[in-house]
Structure 1
Amino acid sequence: MAYNHYFLLFAATFAAFVLLILVTLSTPLIRPICFVDVVLLSGSAKFGVLGYCEKICSSIGFGYRFGTQITTTTTTSLVLFPAAAGVSVLLMLALFPLFCGPRAQVPHLVLSSLALAASACSIAAFIVGVYLAAAATAGFKSTGQKTSLGPAIWMSLVAAVINTLVAVNVALGTCFGTRLKRSLSYTL
């Protein structure tokens, strides 16, 4: 079987998609995955994309508020995580027929646009997640609580890096194998 350059791009995009879905389904749905873990006087609180958990969890949805430390505006911006996951799915759907079937005419503009959109959404989601973590950490530390970063920050960073590498690969055309098949213009 011949080496197919699209498989690596599909696998990398799938990995980024899984990470983005896990971050989207973070606290309160998957409690160990959170942006910030805060030790409060009444216990601990974990904050995710769709809500937070103290002794009991908040209702699931975007735009929650927790005291003065975490605002509705910031948590509403976390909608970028499912958006980035959705664009990653579209990119996977565009890549899937290219590595499963015979070589066809490659829609390079579509692939480049989807890869760029997935990368941009992933980076924007990561920045919003970091902002949420930084604002919450500063707010809680000013009142004397102890905070720590959760795994959702690092998972979103890895997803953003993977989607950016895929976008660079697609934009440069290396996924099409043209760089590898290019012959030397000189002889030794």
Structure 2
Amino acid sequence: MIDRYTVPILMLLLCAFVLLVLTTFSVPFIKPFYFFHSDVNGGVAYGTWGWCFDLSGVCSPKRFGWMWKPQFVPLLNQLLVLYPIATGLTLICILVLMPVMCSRHSRLHPFPLLALFCLLAWLCSTAAFAASLTNWLIARQHFTQDGLDTHLGPLVWVSLGAMVALLIVAVNTSCGSLCRGHMGRRHSGIYFTY
């Protein structure tokens, strides 16, 4: 029997996992998914693993820490490796949640391992989101100085959605695990005699 209290957690984790997979396998693997776009040579889309020109379809070699100097900061590009790490941690969260869902007394027992992995997944996705947004702000300033236009792509919003879903799960599992599911209140069945 599946515990009904864990179903929303599973749904949020599955949504975050799918969004993080799309973020991880962005340009040049899946060309419609990119973080930012600039008007260099007819248009360039930048993703997690590299970049691709719009007109010619030529893409960079697939690797983390791709170079596009002087607009992008290579260190911030290397921090995009946190997206696949967050994806893996979210998958581990789903796998750790499965035994919890099938437990008869899941609301009575703390699950610190689930809370820990959810918190780590959220921290990785937040750090990767911050790195990608900072990189775009720096690149936008450089492109604007060169007279080129840039704009955000769909992956910024996709990764933001995954980050928010993981935040909700991390808060929920941490409070449920650390406070034993009832936010620190005493169980109504406990009576003290003096």
TM-score between the two structures when normalised by the length of structure 2: 0.85
2:45 matched to 1:43?
A: no
2:40 matched to 1:63?
A: no
Secondary structure at the counterpart of residue 62 of structure 2: coil
Instruction: After superposition, give the CA deviation of every residue in 1:89-111 in whole Å (9 maximum; x if it has no partner).
Output: 11111111222454467452111
| Aligned match of 2:51 | 52
| Aligned match of 1:84 | 86
One-letter amino acid matched to 2:93: L
Match of 1:133 among 127, 133, 136: 136
Secondary structure at the counterpart of residue 6 of structure 2: helix
| Aligned match of 1:97 | 99
One-letter amino acid matched to 2:168: L
One-letter amino acid matched to 1:122: S
Instruction: Report percent identity of matched pairs.
Output: 34
Deviation (angstroms), 1:71: 3.1
Instruction: After superposition, give the CA deviation of every residue in 1:18-49 in whole Å (9 maximum; x if it has no partner).
Output: 11110111111111111111112x21000000
Aligned residues: 184
| Inter-partner Cα distance in structure 2 for 1:144 and 1:152 | 24
One-letter amino acid matched to 1:53: C
Summarize the alignment of residues 115-134 of structure 1 with structure 2, pairs less than 5 Å apart: 115-134=118-137
Report if the CA contact (8 A) 1:28-1:48 is conserved.
yes
Instruction: Provide structure 2 residue ranges, at least 5 long, that are not aligned to the other structure.
Output: none
| Aligned match of 1:14 | 14
Instruction: Provide structure 1 residue ranges, at least 5 long, that are not aligned to the other structure.
Output: none
Task: Return closer, same or farther for 1:2/1:72 CA change in 2, 3 Å cut-off.
Answer: closer
Report if the CA contact (8 A) 2:175-2:181 is conserved.
no
| Aligned match of 2:165 | 162
| Inter-partner Cα distance in structure 2 for 1:19 and 1:28 | 17
Q: What CA RMSD, in Å, does the superposition of the two structures yield over aligned residues?
A: 2.6
| Inter-partner Cα distance in structure 2 for 1:139 and 1:184 | 64
Deviation (angstroms), 1:129: 1.3
| Inter-partner Cα distance in structure 2 for 1:169 and 1:9 | 8
